[in-house]
A and B are shown apart, each in its own frame.
Chain A
Amino acid sequence: MQKVKNKWIKIGSEVLILASLFTLVQYLITAGLLNQYYQINLTSMCINVILAVSLSLINGFTGQLSLGHAGFMAVGAYVSVIITNMLDLPFIVGILVACLAAGLAGFIIGVPTLRLKGDYLAIATLAFGEIIRVTLQNIDYVNGPAGIMGITKLTTWPWLFGGTVLTVLVIVNLVNSSYGRAIVSIREDEIASELMGINTTKYKVLAFVIGAMFAGLGGAFYAHYFYIIKPETFNFLKSFDILVMVVLGGLGSTTGAIIAAVFITALTAALQSFPAIRMILYALILVIVMIYRPQGLMGNKELSIKIFGRIWSGRNEPDGNK
C-alpha cells in the first residue's frame, strides 16, 4: 500500500512542477517579460531536448549508433510545412503527418540498415541522412537548395511545452517497461538477447521508428518557428550536434540528454556573437569531456528527485539508483 501511495505522491509532485513551469513561462511571455532573444533560445532548447531524447532512445538505449537524425528532422520539417503552408491545413495535422512521415522514413531506412553493426551502421545512417538532404535539394516543389521561406510561425510555447513533455514521457515510459528492457538488452548483448526470446530486429526497428517520429516532431516545430527551412540546415553536422548532446549527457540517460541539450543550447546562445570562437570552444569541450569523462555527464544513470533526497540526507550511494 505504501508503494502505491508513494507512486501517487511522485506523479503528483511531477505534475505540479511541470504545471508551474508551464504557467510561469506562459505568464512571462504574455506579460512581455521574456524578450525575443530568450524566447528564441527557449524554443531551441525545447527542440534540442526533443531531438536529443529521441536520438538517445536509438543510440543510448538500443545501442545502435545512428548519425542520420537530422534527416528525419528534415522530413518532419518539410512535410509539416507542405501540410500547413501549402495545403492550408491546421498545425496539428501538420505535426501528426510530419511524425508519421518521419517514422515511415525511419522504417524504410531502419529495416535494411539495422542489420549492420557499429561503425558500419553509423556510416549507413549518415549516408541516408545525406541522401534525404540531397533529394530535398533536387525537388522543385519545395524550392530545391533555396528552401522554403515565409513559413507561418505556429510554434508557440504551449505547443513546445506539450511536445517536449510528450516526447520525454513516451520515451521514459517506453524505456521503463518490458519493451524497454528488451531494447536495452540489445545494447548489452544482441546475441544473448535474441537467444532469450527477444526479436531483436523488431525492437531495433521499433526504437528507430519512434526516435525518427520525434525527430520529425522537432523538425515540425523548428520549421514553424524559424520562418525558413533549407536542405542545408539538416546536413550531417546537425546530426553530429544532436549526437554530441546525447553522448555528453551520457549514453542511456534521458536526464543526461536533457541536461546536455539545455546546456549546449545555452552555450551556443551565450557565444552567439563570436561564431568562430564558439565552435572552437565547442570542439574543445567535446574533446576534453571525452578524454576525461568518456561515459558522459551522467553515465547511464538518471538524475531523480530520489538522488537529491539521498544527497540531502548524506547517504549518497554510488550504485543501484537506476
Chain B
Amino acid sequence: MLEFTQQIINGLSLGAIYALIALGYTMVYGIIKLINFAHGDIMMVGAFVGYFSLTLLGTNIFVAMLAAMLTCAVFGVLIEKIAYRPLRNSTRIAALITAIGVSLFLEYMAIFLLGPSQKVFPDSAFPLKAYTLGGLSILNKDVFVFVSAVVLMLILQYIIKWTKTGKAMRAVSLDREAAVLMGISVDKTISITFAIGSALAAAAGVMVGVYYNTVNPLMGIIPGLKAFVAAVLGGIGIIPGAMVGGFVMGLLETMVSGYGNSLYRDAVAFGVLILILLIKPSGIFGEDTGEKV
C-alpha cells in the first residue's frame, strides 16, 4: 500500500507535466481542428530558454519559467501566423503536414544551433531535497512541478471561464462564423490561443528540465506524443479532459514502470490510445456526434 501511494506521488508530477502540454494540444485542436505536432517542440524551446536563463543569466527557476513562457508565447503566435494561418481554409492533411514540417524545423534548427547532445540542467538552480512523510519520500521537485502546474491550470481555468478573451475562445471553437458575426476577431482569438497554449508548454518544458535533469533538441517528441494521447483520452478539444487525461497518463506510466517492464512504458500510452479510440473516440468527456445526411 505504501509502495502504491509512493507510485501515485511520483505519477502526479509527471501527470501534471503531461496535463500542461495536453492543454495546448486540446486548445489548438478545439479552435482550429489541427493536431499541432509542433507542440512538443515548443515545449523543447521552452526548456532551452529556461536552461539558458538559468545558466547564462543566472536567474532563479521562477524567472526562468516566466522567461520561457513569454518567449514561447511569442513563438507560438509567430508559428501560427507564418505557417498555419495561410492554410486555414485548406485541407486538414495539408495543415497536418505543415505541422510536421514546423516540428522538424524546430527540432533540427535546435540541433543546428545548439548541437545534438543533451545538456544538464544546473543542480544549483534547484537543490534537491527529499522529505519523508510516514514512510513516503517526497522530493521537492515533485512538489514544485505539481504545485506550479496546478496554479497554471487554475489561472487558465479563470481566463477561459471568466474573461472576455476566454469567452471569445469558446465562441470561436464552437462556431467560427457565428463568432465573426458577433464581432469577435477570429485571428486575434486564435493568436491568443496559441500564445496561452505555447506558454503552458514552455512551463512544462522547464518542469521537464527539473524533473529529468536534462534537456535536448529531441526531448519534445515523446512527451509531446504522450500529452497528445492524454488530450485524446480526455476528449480532444475539451479543456478539463486534457487535465484529467494528463494525470491519468502520468499515473499509468509510473505504475507500469514501477510494477512492470519499463520498456513497455511507451507501449502503454499507445495501448491506452487505441483502447479509447476503439471504445469511445470522442474521449472520456466527449459527446458522440454522427454525420448528418
Contact = CB atoms under 8 A, between A and B. Distances in A.
Asked if chains A and B are in direct contact (CB within 8 A), the reply is yes
Interface of A: 59, 65, 112-113, 116, 118-120, 122-124, 127-128, 130-131, 134-135, 137-138, 144-145, 191, 236, 240, 243-244, 247, 251, 276-277, 279-280, 282-287, 290-291, 294-295
Ranked 3 nearest A-B pairs via Cβ: A286-B101, A283-B105, A294-B94
Interface in B1-57: 33, 35
A124 B274 contact: yes
A144 B261 CA distance: 13
Interface string B239-281: 0000000000000000000000101101100110110011001
Given A123-B232, A290-B98, A276 B35 contact: no
Nearest to B116: A276
Nearest to A286: B101
Contact of B96 (A113, A122, A280): A122
Nearest to A236: B225
12 contacts: A65-B92, A112-B278, A113-B277, A118-B92, A123-B35, A131-B270, A134-B266, A247-B97, A276-B112, A286-B98, A287-B101, A295-B91
Contact of A243 (B97, B103, B229, B293): B97
Main secondary structure of the interface of B (DSSP, over half): helix
Given A120-B277, A294-B87, A283 B112 contact: no
B281 A280 contact: no
B248 to A, nearest CB: 16
Nearest to B86: A291
B267 A284 contact: no
B87 to A, nearest CB: 6
B137 to A, nearest CB: 30
A138 B263 contact: yes
Contact of A123 (B97, B112, B277): B277
Contacts of A130: 225, 266-267, 270
Given A112-B278, A119-B33, A279-B107, 13 more contacts: A116-B281, A123-B232, A123-B273, A124-B278, A127-B229, A130-B267, A131-B267, A137-B263, A138-B261, A243-B100, A251-B93, A280-B109, A295-B94
Interface centre among A137, A144, A280, A290 (most CB of B within 10 A): A290
B113 to A, nearest CB: 9
A124 B267 contact: no
Nearest to B103: A283
B178 interface: no
B90 interface: yes
A283 B35 contact: no
Nearest to B89: A294
A294 B112 contact: no
A237 to B, nearest CB: 8
Interface string B65-104: 0000000000000000001001100111111111011111
B277 A116 contact: yes
B287 interface: no
A137 B35 CA distance: 27
A290 B266 CA distance: 31
Given A116-B277, A138-B264, A294-B91, A286 B97 contact: yes
